[in-house]
Structure 1
Amino acid sequence: MKKTMVLYPGLAVSHFLPMMQLADELLGRGYAVAVALIDPAAHQQVAFTATVDRVVSSKKHAIRFHVLPRPRVERLRRPPPATTTDRGDFSLLGYLDLVKRHNRCLHGFLASMPLRDVHALVVDSLSVDALDVAQGLGVPGYVFHPGNAGAFAIFLQLSLIRREGRPSFRELGDTPLELPGLPSMPASHLWDELLEDPESEVYSAIMALGRKNSQYCSGILVNTFESLEPRVASALRGSRGGGGGGPALPPPFYCVGPLVEKPGERDDERRHECLAWLDGQPDRSVVFLCFGSTGSANHSAEQLREIAVGLERSGHRFLWVVRAPVSTVVGGGDPYDPRAEPDLDALLPAGFLHRTSGRSAVVKLWAPQVEVLRHRATAAFVTHCGWNSVLEGVAAGVPMLCWPLHAEQRMNKALMVAEAEMGVAVEMAGWQWGLVAAEEVERRVRQVMESEAGGELRARVAAQKAAAAAAWADGGGSSRAAFSAFLSDVDKRQLAR
């Protein structure tokens, strides 16, 4: 049997897809790949289930996919609440409980394979409890962090940032945190779970998750590349060389990004109509607005109207992906379900679609983001700052306008807008208070599309695009070298078993 890597992806589109790109790289190096999946139907999330079905269908001839059976105890009670991280109602405790309850099933799957052929188990950064299974079977366990090195560095330092007796992150509010290798960042930008009461179960859970990520694995793969985050990569590397009587050193980390979907990887039956519309637009003339797999379901009807007014006043062409706000879905249905189409005439200002028809395309629910970003007509990207979207924007060389919604997106924003860090974006003011005004939408669109500062931003993003391509280049790319170092470490551990 060929040497095998077993991957255990997270339960969200933003966690699952990058690990499938990692699978492709492993296949290219001659490894067999097996993917263990918690049944997507277990957490009843339409977008994620559809993504898994699509990927499994396209890769089933190259990769072995195995859906873990539901634990017996789960069969005796009602299904757990939705836990996927692409949802606004994400429950960290529910997610961690779901992973723990599948450990026995994962153990059974690994034990059914010749263990000498299993070179490593690679788990999602939210699934580190599964490393107990690897340790019990004597299989090296690695963590895959689908986000950036900056968020990972904060994760590792949580127990150091907030020691006993110091103010909680919630009490610190907008007080800046000063961390090695990172820009000054308000405490309020951290994960929502860290802004809870320090005595709460969810606060304790995320602190424990940070410790497990830094102590329980053989190494960590991070979906970024060195030149995008040079300061934090250097700081992390320096922390391994510190020694002395300080805290335990983190495991080796490997910057192996950008791992993003490539144009043409989807097996859709026909080309999306928005691409045909883009074909008819001038080069670098269109502002693209898309807020990830949650889409604008996290925006109120009032917010959608403010966006519309701002876009209309800007005078620029735009392509906008709209979902029905959660509050408008009749009967409490799932706003992420493709059947829950938004009523654009009801949600947007009267006459808006008619007045902007010559320079706009408003798309319901979904657009092929990778293809749109790489289209010659796309000039700017209004994004929720999910890391997949950020990397796709960088790889396409498109400047971004930041509008974070939840999770790590606020931290991503801080890294994106700081010129001393990535310098690939500007920030939309108002998201902090729940409403970005039409005037701000208009002002920022004009800034990126018309001003000298916008030109400088485009130049920085173009440089990062070239660096992203170079990271995986043959004969010296930093990510390709890091990936080789990871495989070398795996092989050494295999020989020592």
Structure 2
Amino acid sequence: MTRLFQDKNFLAFSLYLPTLDREVECEYVDLPEPVQVPGCTPIRIEDLPDQVRNRKIDEYKWVLFHFNRTPLATGIFLNSWEDFELASLKAIREHPFYKQIATPPVHPVGPLIKEDEPLTELGAKCVAWLDKQPLDSVLFVSLGSGGTLTNAQLTELAWGLELSQQRFILVARKPTDGSASGSFFNMDGDRVNDPKAYLPEGFIERTKGVGLVMPSWAPQVAVLRHASTGAFLSHCGWNSTLESITYGVPMIAWPLYAEQRMNAAMLVEEVGVAVKPMMGEGKGVVEREEIERMVRMVMEGEGGKAIRGRAKELEHSASQGLNFGGSSYESLFRVVKEWTTSDQI
């Protein structure tokens, strides 16, 4: 049995979770200190994945059951590459804890992304709009296929974009004050999505020419690889993260649910390809002034230059890893060689 994991940080946490479950009696969200995953950067309590924030629910028990079975695998494929998340990969391979639990061999074979997608009529208009914009000038704002914001937060985001006076593409989805992943269960509603009904009054008209509002969906791969795209405000899902880095696009991290908070922390603090806005104390939302500041900084400030440079470095290493003789190429080649010479086949 071979298992597939998206990233190394989450793999390290999954390997450690059964031990954490045995050693800790209280809810993890009640711990006074961050969770120290062996050999890795500690995970802040607020960044723990949604699946482990309540140990009494069936989802946690199901996750724990499968994480307990990970050491039974003959190998683990990772949709990542050697130069990305170096510390966690080194820990999994060398730290005594992972040797003690007999961690299977780990094979980074990524980044594996969707390299192309058919363009709808609306998608083609989006790309045509990008064609008219200057190099690295557009902020792409998209929170994944299921991500939604509250009414208050979407209003602040729209005002922040407008105040920044930067070019943008906003994938607009009807807000909800319920679950941040609510759109996964409301796909029919997207078919009648009218952004004018919930964006600030006059927003679309005032930003016409500077901004483009796309209802529900945009051709993400085509946007990220376009020369006019300068940054990506993202929910930090792993597929979106890999697509952004593969095309050398820095990020504004806006995690919503699941393991996205862990991904965001790693991208900001360890990898250096993202920045994260601060939520107003006691406000419950990221305010428009902070969004304006963050967008300006990423698109035209020194901080933006730094993370853009790092993103370009990783774009190159990601490409090299997949090429003949690269780390991911060789990793997969070794697995194939083992399988084809095994007596069990």
Residue of 36, 39, 46 corresponding to 1:188: 46
- The equivalent residue for 1:279 is 131
1:324 and 1:423 map into 2 onto residues whose CA distance is 32
Counterpart of 1:485 in structure 2: which amino acid? R
CA distance in 2, matches of 1:378, 1:269: 20
* Residue of structure 2 in register with 1:144 after alignment: 4
Deviations 1:439-471 (A, max 9, x none): 121111011112212111111111011111011
Structure 2 Cα separation of the partners of residues 282 and 199 of structure 1:
52
- The alignment status of 1:209 with 2:209, answered yes or no, reads no
Q: Check the 8 A contact 2:160/2:288 in 1, yes or no.
A: yes
CA distance in 2, matches of 1:402, 1:333: 20
Unaligned runs of 5+ in 2: none
Q: What secondary structure does 2:187 align onto?
A: coil
Partner of 1:234: 90
* Contact 1:180–1:232 (CA under 8 A) maintained in structure 2: no
Matches within 5 A, 1:275-354: 275-295=127-147, 298-326=148-176, 335-337=186-188, 339-354=190-205
Cross-structure match for 2:341? 492
CA contact (8 A) 2:117 2:221 kept: no
1:359 and 1:447 map into 2 onto residues whose CA distance is: 18
Contact kept, 8 Å, 1:225 with 1:468, in 2: the verdict is yes
1:422 paired to 2:271: yes
RMSD: 2.4
TM-score, scaled to structure 2 = 0.91
- 2:101 corresponds to 1:252: no
**CA distance in structure 1 between the partners assigned to 2:29 and 2:194 by the alignment:** 38
Structure 1, unmatched stretches of 5+, are 1-140
Cα contact 1:424–1:461 (8 A) shared by 2 = yes
Deviation at 1:192, TM superposition (A): 1.6
Which of 230, 233, 238 pairs up with 1:379? 230
Calculate percent identity across the aligned residue pairs.
36
Q: TM-score, normalised by structure 1?
A: 0.64
How far 1:301 sits from its partner (Å)?
A: 1.9
Matches within 5 A, 1:123-138: none
Give, in whole Å, the separation in 1 of the partners of 2:280 and 2:126.
27
Tell me the number of residue pairs that the alignment of Structure 1 and Structure 2 aligns.
Answer: 339
Does the 8 Å CA contact 1:281/1:377 hold for their aligned counterparts? yes
Shift of the alpha carbon at 1:242?
7.1
How far does the alpha carbon of each residue in 1:68-125 deviate from its partner, in whole angstroms, 9 at most, with x for none? xxxxxxxxxxxxxxxxxxxxxxxxxxxxxxxxxxxxxxxxxxxxxxxxxxxxxxxxxx
Equivalent residue for 1:261?
114
Provide the rounded CA distance (Å) in 2 between the counterparts of 1:316 and 1:487: 48
Larger Rg: 1
Deviation at residue 349 of structure 1 after TM alignment: 1.3
Residue 496 of structure 1, CA deviation: 3.0
AA in 1 matched with 2:277? M
Which one of the candidate residues 318, 324, 330 is aligned to 1:468? 318
Asked if structure 2 preserves the Cα contact closer than 8 Å seen for 1:373 and 1:396, the reply is yes
